[in-house]
């Protein structure tokens, strides 16, 4: 029954082939006729309405302007993120370099001290 009603509705909305594929007997058809009639009345009563042209136009313009601002903001945000990331990267690199230099200096000093201590006096 759901299949037949559905095919009937498809027929009402311009797709009659669904109903043609089904073999509906006259008895079935008469049993379902109140629901068919209800569907037909629904189809007649629920007609598309046209949105006011001025509204469609002004909302379209507002949305496009808003999209422009949103894209510009996203771009600026992306740029800011890139700058911050680059700055952080540079800081980390400099810190690593300084760390490495300090490490090498400390090691060299420690070696020099050790050599001084091992050298016999006189």
Partner 1 sequence: MHEESDSALIARAKEDPEAFGLLYERYAAGIYNYIYYRTSNHHDAEDLTARTFYRALKHISRYVDRGAPFSAYLYRIAHNIVANWHRDHSRQRIISLDELVMGSPKREEPAAVAEEREEQDLLLQAVRRLPSERQQLLILKFVEQMSNAEIAQVMGRTEGAIKSLYHRTLVALRKELASVGNGWEEITERMKDEQETNG
Q: Taking the complex as a whole, how short is the minimal distance between the CB of residue 30 and partner 1, in angstroms? A: 14
Residue 49 makes contact with partner 1 by CB under 8 A:
yes
CA distances from 107 to 102, 116, 118 (A): 8, 14, 17
Contact predicate 6/22, CB 8 Å: no
Residues 23-42, one symbol each (x = binds partner 1 by CB under 8 A, - = not), give -----------xx-xxx-xx
Q: CA-to-CA distance for 104 and 24, rounded, in angstroms?
A: 93
Contact predicate 32/1, CB 8 Å: yes
Residues 59-98, one symbol each (x = binds partner 1 by CB under 8 A, - = not), give xx-xxxxxxx-xx--x------------------------
Among positions 7-26, residues that touch partner 1 (CB under 8 A) are: 9-10, 12-15
Q: CA-to-CA distance for 25 and 57, rounded, in angstroms?
A: 51
Give the interface with partner 1 as residue ranges (CB under 8 A): 1-3, 5-6, 9-10, 12-15, 34-35, 37-39, 41-52, 55-56, 59-60, 62-68, 70-71, 74
């Amino acid at each position: 029954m759901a299949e037949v009603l559905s095919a009937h509705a498809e027929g009402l909305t311009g797709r009659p082939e669904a109903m043609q594929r089904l073999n509906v007997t006259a008895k079935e058809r008469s049993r379902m006729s109140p629901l068919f009639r209800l569907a037909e009345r629904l189809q007649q009563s629920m007609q598309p309405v046209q949105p006011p042209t001025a509204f469609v136009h002004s909302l379209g313009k507002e949305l496009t302007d808003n999209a422009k601002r949103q894209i510009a903001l996203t771009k600026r945000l992306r740029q800011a993120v890139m700058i911050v990331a680059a700055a952080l990267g540079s800081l980390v690199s400099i810190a690593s370099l300084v760390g490495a230099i300090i490490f090498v200096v400390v090691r060299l000093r420690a070696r020099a001290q050790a050599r001084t201590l091992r050298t016999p006096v006189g």
